[in-house]
């Protein structure tokens, strides 16, 4: 049976020793008071909430699932009570501005909280998770009246938010959406249409739900240029403080492979009253404020899968007696040796650990860029952070969820047949995580965004900027024998990626489909390179700590050993991916379409 334990030591290592968040906070106006002691105290309390309140609902929420009724969706037993504790504890308002009723902690601290909440119970964490994107969207693009009416309640968690994008006929191709927005004389709009796959579209956790909806005005141009953004509340606030039901409803909830405790809704808008957010026909641009926040949040689901599956598999490997070591019995007084002695089991566990701790370092590094973008007085630092986020957000969303799903499957493999049965919880991680590779844009869509817009669309400038970070790190290791192998591999992989970039660009000039054929492999190569950068960095910090006389020898030695494993057994995957890219797209695109039906 899974028993989640917040990895507070590893989180602190990444925040304080690797990425120097204390130094960052001290340099950002308004964040100076957030000392390591204060942050550790906050996250320690959050860990207790996640371990004691959320984690016990993980399996029961999956078993019970959500229930549709004419009066609204009912969440699994315990979910509503947990949400009340979340709101009463001030967790919903943790990272929102004090001007909006929040506690004013850095955005990164909210994402550290997401790390723990998502790992403890991802299905539950989705209910408050989307509200943060709604807050950011409304704060950035909403009118003064909209902010005054809705922002405070969203920040406090009294109300929750959703984003309503897709429709049954269009999927990710939002240019085809048909939901209509008819202007009314009072300045509001009548929103009519059906949206599908709406996470947290209806539930019994909060008294009101604020839907952020994409729709078309009557005179809108076709395609994505004709999309506007609207705020459509489940219940309309009245001048006397009461709430009046709007003309929208959940028509059904999806029966899914996983995250059964999360209500995935079909939402019907029947002339519902809505209010435009931002400029007409600029809705998709405005919605990207929401979607980019959601993509980083989804990347956290990949990290959550790595961490939870790693914890479950590791604990089982120490307890389960199975077979004898080929080198001789390690537990001679027992009937068999523990799984942990077998090299193949260790390989599975080390892969999980490499992905979990490497992904945490990567995503926390992106969190650092978010804080810099939000608060830094240095324009050059903000621009650099924006560039890194632009390039690496699709990598975080796609790569971390891909390896998260792999790690979840590896956890099942460690348990063998016991991993396949529900009682041990490992198969639920696989089912829950599979969606992360799909929503907020599939891995292939993220790859096209990376290669088409972020790399080729900038003439390689964003990629070059990131590779300069890696080269600066490599140069800083000159003369360190313990870092030589890491530096050599980083430079070789970076050079390989650069060569592939130019090869794809040249091929795509002759045939644009070559970029599509290569995009996924390209993104994965960059993802493995990013994690190699993180692991080399962590190995250096760990080595320095040992050299300084730290008594936490096991902790730091494990970092160095895992880094060495990653470089020797995981990073070489990039070569097979590179060979696929070099083969070109002809073996894919040249096949006549009717041959697929043969």
DSSP state letter for 69: -
Same domain, 480 and 373: no
Q: Which sign, positive or negative, has the C-alpha torsion 204, 208, 214, 216?
A: positive
Q: What is the C-alpha radius of gyration for the chain, rounded to an integer number of angstroms?
A: 24
Q: Exposed e or buried b for every residue in 164-198, given b needs 16+ CB within 10 A? A: bbbbeeeeeebeebebbbeeeeeebbbbbbbbbbb
The burial of 272, by beta-carbon neighbours within 10 Å (0-12 exposed, 13-18 middle, 19 or more buried), is given as buried
Last residue of a domain, one of 416, 448, 480: 448
267: in domain: no
463: in domain: yes
Q: Say how far apart CA 458 and CA 461 lie, in whole Å.
A: 5
Same domain, 322 and 354: yes
Please compute, for residue 143, the number of CA atoms within 13 A of its CA located in the half-sphere on the CB side. Answer: 13
Q: What is the pLDDT along the chain (598 residues), one digit of tens a residue?
A: 789 999 999 999 999 999 999 999 999 999 999 999 999 999 999 999 999 999 999 999 999 999 999 999 999 999 999 999 999 999 999 999 999 999 999 999 999 999 999 999 999 999 999 898 899 899 999 999 999 999 999 999 999 999 999 999 987 888 899 999 999 999 999 999 999 999 999 999 999 999 999 999 999 999 989 999 999 999 999 999 999 999 999 999 999 999 999 999 999 999 999 999 999 999 888 877 656 666 788 899 999 999 999 999 999 999 999 999 999 999 999 999 999 999 999 999 999 999 999 999 999 999 999 999 999 999 999 999 999 999 999 999 999 999 999 999 999 999 999 999 999 999 999 999 999 999 988 999 999 999 999 999 999 999 999 999 999 999 999 999 999 999 999 999 999 999 999 999 999 999 999 999 999 999 999 999 999 999 999 999 999 999 999 999 999 999 999 999 999 999 999 999 999 999 999 999 989 999 998 7
Residue 165 CA, distance from chain mean position: 18
Same domain, 520 and 502: yes
Alpha-carbon distances, residue 304 vs 64, 121, 309, 529 (angstroms):
22, 9, 8, 21
Q: What is the DSSP string of 336-368?
A: S-BGGGSHHHHHHHHHHHHHHHHHHHHHHHHHH
Same domain, 492 and 404: no
Same domain, 314 and 433: yes
Domain of 523, in residue numbers: 457-588
* Residue of 146, 307, 406, 440 marked active site: 440
For the question of residue 427 being annotated catalytic, the response is: no
Q: How many domains does the chain have?
A: 2
Which tens digit of pLDDT belongs to each residue from 63-88? 999 999 999 999 999 999 999 999 99
Structure tokens at 68: 């549709």
298-301, Cβ contacts within 8 angstroms, sequence gap of 24 or more: 298/397, 298/401, 298/436, 298/439, 298/440, 299/359, 299/363, 299/366, 299/396, 299/397, 299/400, 299/401, 300/111, 300/114, 300/115, 300/118, 300/363, 301/118, 301/122, 301/401, 301/404, 301/433, 301/436
Q: Say how far apart CA 146 and CA 85 lie, in whole Å.
A: 27
370: in domain: yes
225: in domain: no
Paired sense of beta strands 208-215 and 159-164, if any: parallel
The burial of 443, by beta-carbon neighbours within 10 Å (0-12 exposed, 13-18 middle, 19 or more buried), is given as buried
Give me the residue label for tokens 């959703």. Answer: 162
Same domain, 389 and 487: no
Q: Say how far apart CA 173 and CA 531 lie, in whole Å.
A: 31
Q: Say how far apart CA 385 and CA 533 lie, in whole Å.
A: 17
Structure tokens at 266: 């079909």
Nearest in space to 107 (alpha carbons), one of 34, 7, 186, 208: 34
Same domain, 404 and 482: no
Same domain, 402 and 325: yes
**With pLDDT > 90 as the criterion, what percentage of the chain qualifies?**
94
Q: Which sign, positive or negative, has the C-alpha torsion 37, 39, 40, 41?
A: positive
Same domain, 476 and 434: no
Same domain, 472 and 341: no
- Predicted confidence at residue 298, as pLDDT, reads 87
Is the pTM value of this prediction over 0.85?
yes
161: in domain: no
400: in domain: yes
Last residue of a domain, one of 448, 481, 502: 448
* 3-state secondary structure (DSSP) of residue 253: strand
Same domain, 431 and 493: no
- Predicted confidence at residue 289, as pLDDT, reads 66
Domain CATH number, residue 407: 1.20.140.10
Q: Say how far apart CA 255 and CA 597 lie, in whole Å.
A: 30
At what angle are helices 513-547 and 379-415 packed, to 10 degrees? 90
315: in domain: yes
How far separated are the first and last CA of the chain, in Å rounded?
47
* 3-state secondary structure (DSSP) of residue 387: helix
Same domain, 359 and 466: no
- Predicted confidence at residue 45, as pLDDT, reads 98
140: in domain: no
Q: Say how far apart CA 232 and CA 317 lie, in whole Å.
A: 50
Last residue of a domain, one of 427, 448, 469: 448
């Amino acid at each position: 049976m899974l028993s989640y334990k917040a990895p507070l030591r590893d989180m602190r290592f990444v925040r304080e020793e690797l990425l120097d968040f204390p130094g960052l906070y001290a340099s950002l106006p308004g964040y100076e008071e957030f000392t390591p002691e204060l942050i550790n105290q906050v996250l320690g309390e959050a860990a207790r909430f996640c371990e004691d309140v959320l984690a016990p609902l993980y399996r029961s929420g999956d078993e019970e699932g959500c229930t549709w009724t004419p009066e609204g969706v009912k969440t699994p037993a315990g979910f509503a009570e947990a949400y009340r504790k979340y709101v009463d504890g001030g967790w919903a308002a943790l990272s929102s501005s004090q001007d909006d009723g929040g506690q004013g902690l850095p955005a990164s601290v909210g994402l550290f909280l997401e790390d723990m909440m998502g790992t403890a119970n991802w299905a539950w964490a989705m209910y408050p998770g989307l509200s943060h994107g709604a807050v950011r969207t409304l704060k950035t693009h909403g009118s003064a009246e909209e902010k005054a009416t809705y922002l405070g309640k969203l920040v406090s968690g009294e109300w929750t938010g959703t984003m309503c994008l897709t429709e049954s006929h269009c999927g990710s191709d939002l240019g085809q959406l048909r939901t209509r927005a008819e202007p009314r004389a009072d300045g509001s709009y009548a929103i009519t249409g059906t949206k599908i796959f709406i996470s947290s579209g209806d539930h019994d956790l909060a008294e009101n739900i604020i839907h952020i909806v994409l729709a078309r005005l009557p005179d809108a141009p076709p395609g994505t240029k004709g999309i506007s953004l609207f705020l459509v509340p489940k219940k309309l606030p009245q001048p006397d403080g009461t709430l009046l039901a709007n003309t929208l409803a959940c028509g059904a909830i999806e029966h899914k492979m996983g995250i059964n405790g999360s209500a995935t809704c079909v939402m019907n808008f029947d002339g519902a009253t809505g209010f435009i957010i931002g400029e007409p026909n600029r809705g998709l641009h405005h919605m990207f404020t929401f979607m980019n926040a959601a993509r980083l949040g989804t990347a956290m689901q990949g990290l959550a899968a790595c961490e939870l599956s790693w914890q479950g598999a590791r604990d089982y490997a120490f307890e389960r007696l199975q077979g004898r070591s080929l080198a001789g019995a390690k537990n001679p007084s027992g009937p068999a040796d523990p799984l942990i002695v077998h090299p193949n089991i260790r390989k599975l566990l080390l892969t999980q650990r490499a992905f979990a701790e490497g992904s945490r370092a990567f995503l926390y590094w992106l969190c650092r860029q978010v804080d810099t973008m939000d608060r830094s007085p240095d324009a050059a630092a903000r621009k650099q952070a924006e560039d890194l986020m632009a390039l690496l957000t699709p990598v975080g969303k796609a790569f971390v969820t891909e390896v998260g799903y792999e790690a979840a499957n590896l956890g099942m493999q460690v348990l063998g047949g016991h991993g396949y049965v529900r009682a041990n919880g490992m198969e639920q991680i696989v089912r829950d995580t599979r969606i992360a590779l799909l929503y907020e844009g599939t891995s292939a869509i993220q790859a096209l965004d990376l290669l088409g817009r972020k790399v080729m669309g900038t003439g390689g400038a964003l990629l070059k900027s990131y590779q300069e970070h890696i080269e600066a790190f490599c140069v800083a290791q000159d003369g360190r024998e313990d870092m030589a192998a890491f530096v050599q591999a980083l430079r070789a992989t970076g050079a390989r990626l650069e060569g592939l970039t130019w090869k794809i660009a040249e091929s795509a000039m002759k045939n644009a489909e070559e970029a599509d054929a290569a995009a996924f492999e390209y993104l994965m190569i960059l993802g493995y390179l990013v994690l190699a950068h993180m692991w080399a960095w962590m190995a250096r910090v760990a080595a320095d700590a040992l050299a300084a006389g730290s008594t936490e020898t096991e902790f730091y030695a494990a970092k160095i050993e895992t880094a060495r494993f990653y470089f020797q057994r995981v990073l070489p995957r990039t070569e097979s991916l590179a060979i696929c890219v070099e083969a070109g797209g002809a073996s894919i695109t040249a096949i006549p379409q009717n041959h697929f039906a043969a």
